[in-house]
Amino acid sequence: MIHAVRPVASLLLGMAILLAGSGLIGTLLGLRGSVEGFSGFTLGLVMSGFFTGYIAGAFTTPPLIRRVGHIRTFTAMAALAAVVSMLYGLWVDPWFWWVLRVINGIAMVAIYMVIESWLNEQMHEQRAKIFAGYMMVSFAALGAGQFLIGVYGADHLASFVLVGVCFTLGLIPIALTPVTQPTPIDTHRLPLAHLYRVSPVGYFAGLVSGLVSGAFWGLAAAFAAHQGLDDGQVAALTAAAIFGGALMQWPIGKLSEGRDRRKVLVVVCALAVLSAGAMFLIGPRDPMGLIIATGCYGGFAFSLYGLAVAQTHDRFHPSEALEATKALLLLSGLGAAIGPMGTGALMSLTGPRALPLILAGLLLGLVALTVWRILRDAPVADNERTEFMPVHRTSLAATDMDPRIPHAEDAVARTE
């Protein structure tokens, strides 16, 4: 693994610094919004702006890259993200924050897309190892970034400046990396209706994974703060969910190989529901128990997207898998944009403590839909199931990195 990722180590280092800042800003805004008295709906609306920008950036970034190139796009978007991060602290207003979150989402998906394009250009025969290394670095950096909240606290402008510093520092190792300029990114038709017809469970799982992840990332900090947790404990709670998701993806994925993945999906959803129930029951009585329950929830709930991708790969012909996976990615992003708003509205009516119950309700809906499809559709044949790979929702360029996707160099290697 170390030998495989050494040629792209500077890219991974820069990405880790950027993602630490990205991980910090989400928790920081949730905590600061709670301090400022934002309602659940208001905070959910603000946090949904990131995923709205994420979707918009998925369509606007490829033309921008074709016009000015990868390097200029990356530099401009990283600088924009740094400026936006500091503007949050200068003017605390929900509508202004929503606009900044949209810009933040556009900038981050562009950063993801450029770096993943560079990585894809360097992968070749080490594709699986570099892809796995990239996913590990992504999860670790996002989790570690949570603890930066303890440096200054949520009510200090310096915390927003620290996010800007991370985005600026992340520029340095990437900008100095002597990598080959990748080929321009193409935009493709994203067949959501076709995705549903061929892989309805993958479709539902991708959408619900976006709904629950968007709701959690947007409102978990506010939920934890209302349970009486201090800034450090809030950071530990969100980090526990991230690390839980990172640790559980591989064993859950391997468990799904050789089995009907839809049944594994039902079991994983049920375990996530039980974990969410534990979060609700423990509440403020036991902060450490709440953190552990949240880690278990993250381990199961954040594995859903990987199972959705694997189920989609199982159902589609390899020649269509790339487009289907891109459609699934944007479907999940749409769910992540809707999740914080809808969940925030419900929390405004029921109180912040209801977050785990709302998440459990969404997951139970996925269980019902999946069981319905199990009763209607035959499982995928054993010899048609693909290998599971841990994945993290980033950009459309990440789908090109997936080792399960056929690549031109693979075809050349097979003919030699």
Q: In 3D, which of 116, 134, 127 has the Cα closest to residue 183?
A: 116
> What DSSP string runs through 323-347?
HHHHHHHHHHHHHHHHHHHHHHHHH
Helices and strands (DSSP H and E) totals, the chain = 18, 0
How many C-beta atoms surround the C-beta of residue 409 within 10 A? 11
- Rounded Cα–Cα distance for residues 383 and 201 (Å): 19
> What DSSP string runs through 223-241?
HHHHTT--HHHHHHHHHHH
Strand, helix or coil for residue 275: helix
How do the pLDDT tens digits run along the chain, 416 residues long?
555 566 678 888 888 999 999 999 999 999 999 889 999 899 999 999 999 999 898 888 888 888 888 888 888 999 999 999 999 999 999 999 999 999 999 999 888 888 877 777 665 556 667 777 778 888 899 999 999 998 999 889 999 999 999 999 988 887 777 766 666 555 556 578 888 998 999 999 999 999 999 999 999 999 999 999 999 999 999 999 999 988 888 888 888 887 888 999 999 999 999 999 999 999 888 999 999 999 999 999 999 988 888 888 888 877 777 788 888 888 999 999 999 999 999 999 998 899 999 999 999 999 999 999 999 988 888 777 777 776 766 656 556 666 666 654 444 343 34
How many C-beta atoms surround the C-beta of residue 271 within 10 A? 19
Strand, helix or coil for residue 186: coil
* Residue 164: φ, ψ to 5°: -60, -40
The CATH number assigned to the domain holding 403 equals 1.20.1250.20
Residue reference for tokens 């924050």: 97
Q: Which amino acid is at 184?
A: P
- Rounded Cα–Cα distance for residues 3 and 5 (Å): 6
- By the 8 A CB rule, do 31 and 150 touch? no
Q: CB within 8 A of 23, min separation 6: which ones? A: 141, 142, 143, 144, 145, 146, 242
Q: How many domains does the chain have?
A: 1
Residue reference for tokens 């690390």: 243
Domain that holds residue 256: 2-415
Name the percent of the chain in helix, strand, coil, to the closest 5. 85, 0, 15
Strand, helix or coil for residue 358: helix
pTM above 0.85, yes or no: yes
Provide the pLDDT for residue 134. 79
- Rounded Cα–Cα distance for residues 49 and 340 (Å): 9
* Residue 286: φ, ψ to 5°: -140, 90
Provide the pLDDT for residue 324. 81
Strand, helix or coil for residue 98: helix
Q: Which amino acid is at 350?
A: T
